A and B are shown apart, each in its own frame.
Chain A
């Protein structure tokens, strides 16, 4: 009897731990009236926005051990039927190809017209450490940070590696989970080593670095020659894109997990403390603090003169950039961690139930979700 009680309590306790397994939170990328998203089944899904027809890529699977119960890092998750690889970064579309990076340490390229067949894979015969941040491209090259602490640049057409950058030399083991930003031949990327790096996109050489007191998960926003990014030290920084000199920083009550947006010389930065900090872009002066009553982890979207934020609890808000007033648009009652995407006034976000949720950004009406579950 006692044994049964102990086992039951143990099982319940295991079940209560969230975040053991990598599940993924890929956002959508829109091109030619099609939204591409990395599903939680480990597939790239292309959804035609006109007729809602869908196309799936082959399922990307783990090659490394995932533990006896599929609970190891990278597995689809304890208790879920999914065995596919978690996908965090949003897909990138460029020159007829669509790319994504998986938590299995591989980067995949597909023909954007027909994603059922893989065009190339990097690395071909092995796996790197997991990719959590997404890819960025300047047209000819792809750039990504990896959990092995390196930044990789690949040929966008062939998938061949062009260069790699290890911030601390070969000694470093600090992860890179952030998605980089690119502007004018410079790549900006944050690392777990608490620094933001500016790299020359031609050869990966370092232009400058900027140290904070916490790991950097967020993608920097590049706006008027200034980088705006949050750190896990609970500060939002404004740094000169040219030389990495700090312009200002403001503290918050919790981490800045996602990137801010800029509208009319104001920066709107959502934090995990549930506040949106509205700041003057040049001075960092606080214009307003808007409490959205829930942690903000997903990247917001700008639609006309409003900004759409989603809390982790699944409540969608719109902030009027003229008045800086927030209004609740909808409550989908599903956890939202991934970035928002907007097309023609409709906000799309992937949720853990393998569906693409759709919310009208004006009326707030929740449209029927599009299932991302493969039919094979």
Chain B
């Protein structure tokens, strides 16, 4: 038995089995309980990861400005970005590092679930080398694989769909919008690729594993929601101000054109423009023969 198996896999397998016994010989509940417990144990790291992501999100406007300013000079752009990170105390790699540290634990957990499930006869035979010599462990094997009318050792399409949906929500809620179109595109790709990939896995692997993925995603969604609200799930408000700006510009252009012609309408685009124009009355031309009541105001 190597160090990985001895220190991580073996304890997890035995804890899963004991919990299954404690929870009424229900392996499904055991998976749910252990996933939640491990999530709680990893909470400080998860929170740090979310905080890093949140800090990055808060920096986005400034990053966008830098991008705009130094977009063509890659070296200068990188320097300015690093400077900004340093000044704001944000570690851009912090999020990824935290995730990478947690990954072995998640991998160990799902390997342990697979081992404890002992799907094939070879699996049951392999399981024997991971068991502690506790009486409780030996008497509960092989584990009861029935959970909510499904066999945890078999793939289940409903669980596969749940994996995809929960993972998508998790990805979406934690996605940080990026000003860099390339990064934004990558994030968008990940948003769909990861859930789809895991859905395909779930269609092929035992539903006990899918149950673990779903519970894990749900716990992460709850944590993320408590920290940042709906995040990326929030409906993006239409960019009204921007729309107006474009409209104003357009109207201004039109106004200029229209005033060149005699008899054309005077267009008052919006209050701001109107104020400006009121301050400069000389630019508005009075058109004789036209009733003021016929003037149209466009907004």
Task: List A residues at the B interface (Cβ < 8 Å).
Answer: 2-3, 5-7, 9-10, 13-14, 16-23, 25, 65, 67-69, 71-73, 86, 88, 132, 173, 175, 177, 192, 213-215, 217, 232-234, 253-255, 257, 272, 295, 297, 312, 337
A142 to B203, CA, bound (A): 37
**Is B125 in contact with A297, judged by CB distance below 8 angstroms?**
yes
> Given A213-B139, A295-B129 in contact, is the A68-B200 Cβ separation under 8 Å?
yes
Chain B residues 170-226 with CB under 8 Å of chain A are: 186, 190, 193-194, 197, 200-201, 203-206
Question: Does B128 count as interface, using CB distance less than 8 angstroms?
Answer: yes
In the bound complex, residues from chain A placing their C-beta under 8 Å from that of B203 are 67-68
User: Interface of chain A, helix or strand or loop or mixed?
Assistant: loop
Total cross-chain contacts (CB, 8 A): 107
In the bound complex, residues from chain A placing their C-beta under 8 Å from that of B115 are 17, 19
Set B96, B99, B126: member contacting A18, Cβ < 8 A: B126
B193 to chain A minimum Cβ distance, whole angstroms, is 7
In the bound complex, residues from chain B placing their C-beta under 8 Å from that of A173 are 146
In the bound complex, residues from chain B placing their C-beta under 8 Å from that of A69 are 204
**Residue tally, chain B, CB below 8 Å to A:** 42
In the bound complex, residues from chain B placing their C-beta under 8 Å from that of A253 are 133
A2 to B98, CA, bound (A): 12
Question: Does B114 count as interface, using CB distance less than 8 angstroms?
Answer: yes
Question: Does B154 count as interface, using CB distance less than 8 angstroms?
Answer: yes
B295 to chain A minimum Cβ distance, whole angstroms, is 58
Return the chain B residue nearest A212 by Cβ. B139
A165 to B111, CA, bound (A): 36
**Is B138 in contact with A337, judged by CB distance below 8 angstroms?**
no
Question: Does B141 count as interface, using CB distance less than 8 angstroms?
Answer: yes
In the bound complex, residues from chain A placing their C-beta under 8 Å from that of B125 are 19, 257, 272, 297, 312, 337
**Is B103 in contact with A88, judged by CB distance below 8 angstroms?**
no
Q: A20-B114, A65-B155, A255-B138 are in contact. List 5 more A-B contacts (CB 8 A).
A: A14-B201, A17-B115, A20-B206, A22-B119, A25-B122
A9 to B133, CA, bound (A): 31
B122 to chain A minimum Cβ distance, whole angstroms, is 4
10 pairs, CB–CB < 8 Å, chain A vs chain B: A3-B194, A19-B127, A20-B120, A65-B155, A71-B204, A72-B155, A73-B153, A173-B146, A254-B131, A272-B129
Task: List B residues at the A interface (Cβ < 8 Å).
Answer: 96, 99-100, 103, 107, 110-111, 114-115, 118-129, 131, 133, 138-139, 141-142, 146, 153-155, 186, 190, 193-194, 197, 200-201, 203-206
Return the chain A residue nearest B113 by Cβ. A17
B121 to chain A minimum Cβ distance, whole angstroms, is 5
Set A13, A73, A257: member contacting B128, Cβ < 8 A: A257
Return the chain B residue nearest A352 by Cβ. B122
In the bound complex, residues from chain B placing their C-beta under 8 Å from that of A67 are 155, 203-205
In the bound complex, residues from chain A placing their C-beta under 8 Å from that of B154 are 72-73
In the bound complex, residues from chain A placing their C-beta under 8 Å from that of B118 are 19
**Is A20 in contact with B200, judged by CB distance below 8 angstroms?**
no
**Is B139 in contact with A17, judged by CB distance below 8 angstroms?**
no
**Is B111 in contact with A16, judged by CB distance below 8 angstroms?**
yes
Greatest chain B CB density within 10 A among A14, A17, A22, A213 is at A17
A68 to B96, CA, bound (A): 31
Greatest chain B CB density within 10 A among A19, A23, A132, A214 is at A19
In the bound complex, residues from chain A placing their C-beta under 8 Å from that of B103 are 6, 9
**Is A254 in contact with B128, judged by CB distance below 8 angstroms?**
yes
Return the chain B residue nearest A271 by Cβ. B128
**Is A214 in contact with B139, judged by CB distance below 8 angstroms?**
yes
A79 to chain B minimum Cβ distance, whole angstroms, is 13
In the bound complex, residues from chain B placing their C-beta under 8 Å from that of A21 are 119-120, 122
A17 to B113, CA, bound (A): 10
In the bound complex, residues from chain A placing their C-beta under 8 Å from that of B119 are 19-22, 73
A334 to chain B minimum Cβ distance, whole angstroms, is 14
In the bound complex, residues from chain A placing their C-beta under 8 Å from that of B120 are 19-23, 73, 86
B72 to chain A minimum Cβ distance, whole angstroms, is 24
Set B107, B110, B121, B131: member contacting A177, Cβ < 8 A: B121
Set A13, A19, A312: member contacting B124, Cβ < 8 A: A19
A234 to B100, CA, bound (A): 40
In the bound complex, residues from chain A placing their C-beta under 8 Å from that of B142 are 175, 192, 215, 232
**Is B204 in contact with A18, judged by CB distance below 8 angstroms?**
no
Return the chain A residue nearest B114 by Cβ. A17
A253 to B120, CA, bound (A): 23
A112 to chain B minimum Cβ distance, whole angstroms, is 27
**Is B122 in contact with A337, judged by CB distance below 8 angstroms?**
yes
Return the chain A residue nearest B111 by Cβ. A17
**Is A71 in contact with B205, judged by CB distance below 8 angstroms?**
yes
B252 to chain A minimum Cβ distance, whole angstroms, is 46
> Given A19-B125, A19-B126 in contact, is the A232-B141 Cβ separation under 8 Å?
yes
In the bound complex, residues from chain B placing their C-beta under 8 Å from that of A215 are 141-142
**Is B107 in contact with A233, judged by CB distance below 8 angstroms?**
no
A132 to B103, CA, bound (A): 36
